[in-house]
Amino acid sequence: MSDVLDIVVRLLAIFVAFLVFPLVIGQTEHKVMAHMQGRLGPMYAGGFHGWAQLVADGVKFAQKEDIVPAGADRRVFQLAPAVALLPYLLVLAAIPLGPHTVGRDLDAGIFFVLAVMGVGVLGSIMAGWASANKFSLLGGLRTAAQLLAYELPMLLAAASVAMAAGTLSLPGILEGFHWWWVPWQIVGGVVFFVAGLAELQRPPFDMPVADSEIIFGAYTEYTGLRFALFLLAEYAGIVVLCALTSVLFLGGWHGPFGAAGLGWLWMVLKTVVLAFVVIWLRVTYPRLREDQLQKLAWTALIPLALAQIALTGVIKVVIS
Amino acid sequence: MTLAAASHGFLTPSGVEIAFVLVGIVTFGAALITVTTRQLVHAALWLVVALGGIAVEYLLLTAEFIAWVQVLIYVGSVVVLLLFGLMLTKAPIGRSPDADSGNRRAALAVAVASAAALVWVVVDAFRATWITLGGAAQGSTEASGRTLFQYWVLPFEALSVLLLAALVGAIVLSRRNPEAPPAAPAPGAATARAPREEQR
C-alpha cells in the first residue's frame, strides 16, 4: 500500500511542478522583457504588477474557438500539440531535485531525457505538415533541419559528462560531482546549453517561427487551447533545459554551503538563473539566418563538443 | 523450447509476458499500416508507433539502455530525417496516387522470407534460455557495455568502419564537380555533363 502511495505522491509532485514552473517562467519573461526594453508590460490583471496576466491569458485561450483548417489533416493536426507537450512532462520525472528527491532514478537517465526531448520536436513537424499551409510547412522543415543539426552536439556534450562521472544516471552523476568539474566541462556546458536553446527554437534560434518571414511557422494555423499548449511546451522546455544544464554541468544540488537540507534550493536557484539567461538572450540577440544556424552547429558546436570529449578522456585517464 | 516449457510453462503467463504480447501485437499492426497506407506522411508517423513499440518491448525485457537508444536514434533522428525528406520533396495531405508499387508481391515474399529466417535463427540460438525479469536488470547500461566491449568488439569496430565508409561516400556523392563552372555554363557543356552527374 505504501508503495502505491509513494508512486501517487511522486506523480502528483511531478505534475504540480509541470504546471507551476512553466507559468512562473512565462510570467518572469513578461516582466524581464518589459524591464530590459524600458516599458511596463501587463500591469493591471490581478492588481500587483499584473501577476494574474497569465491566468487571464489562459482563460482567453480556453474561450477561443478551436478551428481546424478545412484542408488540414484533422487527426494529425489535433494530435500535434499533445506530442509536443507530453515529452517534457515525462522528462521531469527523471530530473533530480535533491540528493534523494527524484521522480525515478533511471539507469540510463541521460539517454532517456535526450531521447524523449527529441520526440517533442516531432510535434512541431507534425503541426507544420498537417496544417496545409505553406508557411507552416516551411516552419516544419526548418524545425526538422534544426533538430538534425543540434541533436548531435547536445548528445556529445552530455556524453562528455557521462564519461567524467562514469555513469549515465542523473543522480549518479551528481553524486560523483566535484567543484572542479565546472571549469573542466565548461565548454561542453556552453555547447549543451546553446544546442538546447536551438532545439527549443528559442531566440536567437527561432528561425522556424520567424514571425517576420513565415508568420508563426508550424503554429500559424493554431488557435485557442491547442496554441496555448504549444506555448506551454516552449516554457516547459525552458524549465527542462535549464534543470538539465544545472544537473549535468553546474552540480545540481551541490552548493558552497548548506549541503544538508538546502540541496533543492541550490538546484532551483541554478535553474532560475539559467532561465533568466534564456530570456536575456531572447531580448538581446538578433535572429540567426538559416545558413548561419546550420554553420554554427556543424562548424562550431560539433568540433567544440568533440574537443571537450577528448579533453575529458585525457584528464580522466591522467587522474585515474 | 521443450526445456523452457517444462521449467516455466506457457499456460500461466505473468503480467509482463501478457504486456509483451499485447505490445507486440500493437507494434505488428502499426508496422502493417506503415507499409499499406496510401498516405505517405501517415506511413512515417505509424513507423514512429512501430519503433516506439519495439522500444517498449526492450523495456519489458529490462534492456533499458537499448530502449532509450532505440527512441533516440530511430524516433528522434531517423523518422525526423524521413519526414524532412518527405516534406522537402512531396508530402500531399490525403492519399498519394503513386504510393503504390508493382513489386508488392515480390516485396511480400522477401519480407516473409527474411522474417522466417530471423525467427528461425533467434529461436534456434536462444532455444532454452530464460530471462528472469524479476531482480536486477540484466540489460542495464553496465551489462550492455561489458558485453559489447568484451565479446563483440570486432563486429562493433567493423560496423563503425562501415558507417565511416558510408559517410565518406555520402560526402563524395553530394559534392559538386569542382571543375564545373559556377554559373551559366555553355549549353553544350551542360547537356554533356548532365548524364554523367546522373550516374554519379
State yes or no: pLDDT of B198 exceeds 70.
Answer: no
Residues in A touching B137 (Cβ below 8 Å): 107
**B53 contacts A92 by C-beta, under 8 angstroms:** no
- Listed in sequence order, the residues at least 6 apart from A36 whose beta carbon sits closer than 8 Å to its beta carbon are A280, A283, A284
- B1-99: what CATH class? mainly alpha
Question: Using H for helix, E for strand and C for coil, what is the string for chain A?
Answer: CHHHHHHHHHHHHHHHHHHHHHHHHHHHHHHHHHHHCCCCCCCCCCCHHHCCHHHHHHHHHHHCCCCCCCCCCHHHHHHHHHHHHHHHHHHHCCCCCCCCCCCCCCCCHHHHHHHHHHHHHHHHHHHHHHCCCHHHHHHHHHHHHHHHHHHHHHHHHHHHHHHHHCCCCHHHHHHCCCCCHHHHCHHHHHHHHHHHHHHHCCCCCCHHHCHHHHCCHHHCCCCHHHHHHHHHHHHHHHHHHHHHHHHHHCCCCCCCCCCCCCHHHHHHHHHHHHHHHHHHHHHHCCCCCHHHHHHHHHHHHHHHHHHHHHHHHHHHHHHC
Low-confidence ranges of chain A (pLDDT < 50): none
The 10s digit of each residue's pLDDT in B165-191 is: 999 998 888 887 666 555 544 444 444
Please, how many CA atoms are within 13 Å of residue A166, restricted to the half-sphere of its CB? 6
Confidence of residue B105 (pLDDT cuts 50, 70, 90): confident
Query: Beta-carbon neighbour count of residue A89 at 10 Å?
Result: 18
Residue of A nearest to B85 (CA): A141
The 10s digit of each residue's pLDDT in A133-153 is: 888 888 888 888 888 888 889
| ipTM exceeds 0.90 | no
Residues in A touching B141 (Cβ below 8 Å): 107-108, 167-168
**A76 contacts A126 by C-beta, under 8 angstroms:** yes
Domain ranges of chain B: 1-99, 140-177
> Chain A interface, mutation test: which of B84, B144, B148, most A Cβ atoms within 10 Å?
B84
The 10s digit of each residue's pLDDT in B26-73 is: 999 998 888 888 888 888 889 989 999 999 988 888 888 888 888 888
Selection from A267, A246, A219 nearest residue A161 by Cα: A246
Which residue matches cell numbers 525485457? B61
Q: Do B88 and A132 touch (CB under 8 A)?
A: no
Residues in A touching B171 (Cβ below 8 Å): none
pTM: predicted TM-score of the whole model, two decimal places: 0.81
User: Which pLDDT score is estimated for B190?
Assistant: 41
User: Which pLDDT score is estimated for B9?
Assistant: 59
Please, how many CA atoms are within 13 Å of residue A283, restricted to the half-sphere of its CB? 17
Please, how many CA atoms are within 13 Å of residue A280, restricted to the half-sphere of its CB? 6
Q: Do A119 and B83 touch (CB under 8 A)?
A: no
User: Which pLDDT score is estimated for B41?
Assistant: 83
Of A114, A144, A168, the CB nearest to B80: A144
Cell numbers given for A105: 532514478
User: Which pLDDT score is estimated for B2?
Assistant: 42
Rounded CA separation A189/A73 (Å): 40
Q: Do A147 and B80 touch (CB under 8 A)?
A: yes
Of A119, A147, A155, the CB nearest to B71: A119
- Listed in sequence order, the residues at least 6 apart from A180 whose beta carbon sits closer than 8 Å to its beta carbon are none
Taking the alpha carbons at both ends of chain B, their separation in whole angstroms is 51
The 10s digit of each residue's pLDDT in B110-143 is: 989 999 999 999 888 887 777 676 666 666 777 7
Amino acid identity for residue A205 in this structure: F
